[in-house]
């Protein structure tokens, strides 16, 4: 067993090398903090965008708003950047801001425990290594741990199977008969790409989703030249995207009339794209617009008109050695089965055995649901911060914008703690904050819209989304309330020798 921190505890241990982890590292370096490490279980930098490499993978958020505010990118090729460009952007940022010397890849953390006597977190790794740190910033994203439903006979299928988040780069769809299970965000990007060369693509849909046009386009050479020569033009593009989303998307969440109008527009769009009447009926949701994630695509619906694409709504009964049997008894012969079934959000949140004061485990602290103060802090878990904690998802904006607000708040706390301070939050403040969150969520379509989704916990509470728009979230994260957040010297004076 080795100590990866060598001679002294770290000042900050960062989990994850995606937008949150790399962003945290950059902000620490800006503050002059160099005694930190970024650990990621993956083999490369990029987080979500390292794991999700399936054909057609791209971002729904326009590119010029899906990047750090301090590092605009004039060279985005399209309005909505594809996966390779986003991963390359994160890698460039890590290199440019000298983060890579602090990054250790292939390092999966399995446990964290708080040592109250030394005011340090101890980390255990899957390979047997250990580390210690004053502060922990958990920057793990939620969109990488596959959720794979259980089907009878799944272990008997002799063809290739994979989840979109665990894509086999050697898989060639040409001439193959392929099943795609799931019809949400990953599926609607992958299906049109697979159908280009596959002999047949069978899309197994359980629940329809509202799908809007993405209106994607390539930036011209002239536009990219302008962005390079005129930073104000890039800032204007970013501001335009921000304001449009704040106005258009937030109204869907809180205003029924806006949802009704949008639903009719999306029905018209569906009618212009899909010729098959049976398909159109099957693709029409029975819940309110915005209750589930609104999907965007320019080519998915049209791909359902192709002779080699079939929409299957009959439930799956079982897998066989050579295909899938549906409840009506029909069997479809297959060469490959692809799970586009989303991510296991709840298991992801509890994937590390985290133990705070008095040995309290995070699983026990969250036995009645995942809650945190301002999505960032937890009672009984001193000096432990989450960049994308419960109720942090701002539905109107880029996750990168949200991450930056959270990181600024976290870094201010660490800065105020000085050389030996401990940051805690009171249980009363946490309970009050979450009561307010639940009261505001009750007025949103996520609660009133008549659906269940990955936004909800098993008990039905909305645990992933913030009950406001991006400006609301920015305002919340602009201040640290001293009555709620306590920064004090350790209760026990046996201090460790961490240094900045």
Render 15-53 in DSSP notation, one character per residue.
E-SSHHHHHHHHHHHHTT---EEEEESSSSS-THHHH--
To the nearest whole number, what is the mean pLDDT of the chain?
Answer: 94
* Average pLDDT value for residue range 287-316: 97
Q: What CA–CA distance (Å, rounded) separates 160 from 336?
A: 5
Report whether pLDDT(201) > 80: yes
What is the rounded average pLDDT of the residues 62-84? 96
Q: What are phi and psi of 194, to 5 degrees?
A: -65, -40
In the predicted structure, residue 3 carries a pLDDT above the cut 80: no
Q: What angle do CA 255, 260, 261 make, to 5 degrees?
A: 100
Task: Please name which of 376, 355, 470, 353 lies closest in space to residue 430, comparing C-alpha atoms.
Answer: 376
Residue 493 is predicted with a pLDDT of: 36
Mean pLDDT of 232-245: 92
In the predicted structure, residue 1 carries a pLDDT above the cut 50: no
Give CA separation, 292 vs 90, 303, 345, in Å: 28, 22, 15
pLDDT over 60 (residue 316): yes
- Fold annotation for 10-145+344-488: FAD/NAD(P)-binding domain (3.50.50)
Looking at the predicted structure, is the pLDDT value of residue 2 above 50?
no
- pLDDT given at position 43: 95
Split at pLDDT 50, 70, 90, the class of 499 is low
| Predicted confidence band of residue 143 (pLDDT cuts 50, 70, 90) | low
Q: In terms of Cα–Cα distance, which of 44, 88, 40 is closest to 63?
A: 88
Q: Residue 343 pLDDT more than 90?
A: no
Environment class of residue 306 by beta-carbon count within 10 Å: exposed (0-12), middle (13-18) or buried (19+)? Answer: middle
At 7, the pLDDT band (50, 70, 90 cuts) reads low
The CA distance from 49 to 66, in Å, is 12
Q: Are 499 and 35 in contact (CB under 8 A)?
A: yes
pTM, rounded to two decimals: 0.94
Residues of the chain with CATH 3.50.50.60: 10-145+344-488, 154-339
In this structure, CATH architecture of domain 154-339 = 3-Layer(bba) Sandwich (3.50)
Single out the residue of 131, 110, 137 nearest to residue 19, CA to CA.
137
CA distance 35 to 498: 8
Q: Tell me if residue 274 falls in helix, strand or coil.
A: coil
Whole-angstrom Cα distance, residue 176 to residue 186?
A: 20
pLDDT of residue 344: 78
Packing angle, helices 83-96 and 19-30, rounded to 10: 20
Residue 213: is its pLDDT beyond 50?
yes
- Give the other-Cβ count within 10 Å of 122's Cβ: 17
Query: Bridge partners of 318?
Result: 325
Residue 492 pLDDT greater than 50, yes or no: no
Q: Tell me how far apart the alpha carbons of residues 464 and 389 are, in angstroms, rounded to a whole number.
A: 8
* Helix, coil or strand: residue 357: helix
């Amino acid at each position: 067993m080795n100590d990866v921190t060598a001679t002294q505890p770290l000042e900050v241990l960062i989990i994850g090398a995606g937008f949150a982890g790399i962003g945290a590292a950059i902000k620490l370096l800006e503050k002059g903090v160099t005694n930190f490490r970024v650990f990621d279980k993956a083999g490369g930098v990029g987080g979500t965008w390292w794991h999700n490499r399936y054909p057609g993978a791209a971002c729904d958020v326009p590119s010029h708003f899906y990047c750090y505010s301090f590092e605009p990118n004039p060279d985005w090729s399209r309005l909505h950047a594809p996966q390779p460009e986003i991963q390359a952007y994160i890698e460039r940022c890590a290199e440019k801001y000298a983060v890579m010397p602090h990054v250790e890849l292939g390092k999966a953390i399995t446990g964290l425990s708080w040592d109250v006597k030394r005011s340090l977190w101890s980390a255990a790794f899957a390979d047997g290594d250990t580390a210690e740190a004053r502060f922990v910033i958990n920057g793990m994203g939620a969109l990488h741990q596959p959720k794979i439903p259980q089907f009878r006979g799944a272990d008997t299928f002799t063809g290739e199977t994979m989840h979109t988040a665990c894509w086999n780069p050697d898989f060639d769809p040409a001439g193959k008969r392929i099943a795609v299970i799931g019809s949400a965000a990953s599926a609607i990007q992958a299906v049109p790409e697979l159908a280009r060369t596959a002999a047949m693509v069978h899309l197994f849909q359980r629940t329809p989703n509202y799908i809007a046009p993405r209106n994607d386009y390539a930036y011209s050479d002239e536009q990219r030249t302008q962005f390079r020569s005129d930073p104000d033009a890039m800032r204007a593009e970013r501001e335009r995207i921000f304001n449009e989303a704040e106005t258009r998307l937030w109204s869907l969440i809180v205003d029924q009339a806006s949802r009704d109008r949008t639903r009719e527009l999306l029905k018209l769009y569906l009618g212009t794209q899909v010729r098959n009447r049976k398909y159109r009926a099957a693709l029409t949701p029975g819940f309110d617009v915005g209750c589930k994630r609104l999907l965007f695509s320019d080519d998915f619906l049209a791909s359902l008109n192709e002779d080699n694409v079939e929409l299957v709504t009959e439930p799956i009964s079982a897998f066989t050695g050579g295909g899938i049997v549906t409840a009506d008894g029909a069997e479809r012969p297959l060469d490959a089965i692809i799970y586009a079934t989303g991510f296991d959000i709840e298991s992801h949140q509890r994937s590390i055995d985290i133990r705070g004061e008095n040995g309290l485990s995070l699983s026990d602290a969250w036995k009645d649901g995942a809650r945190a103060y301002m999505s960032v802090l937890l009672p009984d878990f001193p000096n432990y911060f989450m960049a994308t904690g419960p109720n942090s998802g701002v539905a109107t904006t880029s996750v990168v914008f949200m991450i930056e607000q959270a990181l600024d708040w976290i870094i201010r706390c660490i800065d105020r703690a000085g050389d030996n301070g401990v940051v805690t939050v009171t249980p009363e403040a946490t309970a009050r904050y979450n009561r307010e969150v639940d009261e505001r969520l009750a007025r949103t379509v996520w609660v009133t819209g008549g659906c269940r989704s990955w936004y909800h916990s098993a008990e039905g509470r909305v645990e992933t989304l913030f009950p406001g728009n991006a400006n609301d979230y920015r305002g919340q994260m602009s201040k640290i309330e001293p009555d709620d957040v306590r920064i004090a010297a350790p209760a026990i004076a046996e201090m460790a020798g961490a240094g900045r």
